[in-house]
Chains A and B, each alone.
Chain A
Amino acid sequence: MTSIEQTSLNALPKESGLAIINSKAPFSSNHGKDALDIALIFASFEQKVSLFFQGDGVYQLIADQDGKLVSIKDYLKTFSAFEFYDIEDIYVCQQSLVNRQLDEKFHIDGVQVLTSIEFSTALNSHQHVLRF
């Protein structure tokens, strides 16, 4: 590692935990549910978890959805448990919202909308990454 890289790494907030990237829409696959399960398992062992929503993954956060209409057990409701598990860092890619003509109206509180640069900076400050 060069000295330049070391300096830039030190400048970032020390977040050494796990980053989970959600990149799939909620109802057509199990990816979102799997990511949620992993997040809650890590958090219940007091591991620091940050959630990233990018691409079609941003649909997981949008308000007024109802999985029951398509006969799906709505795991999105479990997102409201994040605060009890001390999962506080929830990031969503602004560009992905804009591309999909979505408002910043989410079904949970504490979601941070980040620009592409902020999003990548936040992601790169994590030691481990899982993508779903």
Chain B
Amino acid sequence: MSTLHLVRQSAFASNDFAQCLSVLDHQDSIVLMDDGCYNLKHTLMDSLIKRIDGTININVIASHAQARAIEPTTEVKRIEMSDVVQLTFNHEKVITWQ
């Protein structure tokens, strides 16, 4: 049972991202969108990237990051909103963190 996590809030302003990471399981996917893009520069992201063993995939909506002048790191895959639709089909559940 894998879960798609849609992270929409800045970890600098709320606990959502920390809570998301605490329930994150193998084979889950994360999509950073809206203010969630700011999490790319958060220390929680650094520790997540160290933790990933190739089964968790981290994505960011490219236009949302670009609007905020954030350059995603290579570990994070840039996607479009239309790709999120496919991701929802690839996972049994979706959790929106907002």
How many residues does chain B have at the interface if contact means C-beta atoms less than 8 Å apart? 15
Chain A residues with Cβ below 8 Å from B69 are: 62-66
Q: Could you list 18 examples of A-B contacts with CB < 8 Å? A: A25-B10, A25-B13, A25-B35, A25-B68, A27-B34, A27-B35, A28-B8, A28-B34, A28-B35, A55-B13, A66-B66, A68-B67, A69-B63, A69-B67, A70-B34, A70-B63, A100-B42, A101-B41
Q: Which of A54-68 contact B (CB under 8 A)?
A: 55-56, 59, 62-68
What is the interface of chain B, defined by CB distance below 8 A to chain A? 8, 10, 12-13, 34-35, 38, 41-42, 63-64, 66-69
A99 within 8 A of B: yes
Interface size range of chain A in the complex: 20 to 34
A25 to B42, CA, bound (A): 15
Find out whether the CB atom of B41 lies under 8 angstroms from the CB atom of A59: no
- When chains A and B are docked, how far (Å) is the Cα of A93 from the Cα of B60? 28
Task: Enumerate chain A residues within 8 angstroms of B67, measured Cβ to Cβ.
Answer: 27, 65-70, 72
Chain B residue at minimum C-beta to C-beta distance from A23: B13
* Chain A residues, CB < 8 A from B68: 25, 27, 59, 62, 65
**Contact between B66 and A25, CB atoms less than 8 A apart:** no
Indicate if the CB atoms of B38 and A56 lie closer than 8 Å: yes
In this complex, what residue of B is CB-closest to A58? B12
Q: Which partner residue on chain B sits nearest A57 by CB separation? A: B13
Measured CB to CB, the nearest residue on chain B to A70 is: B67
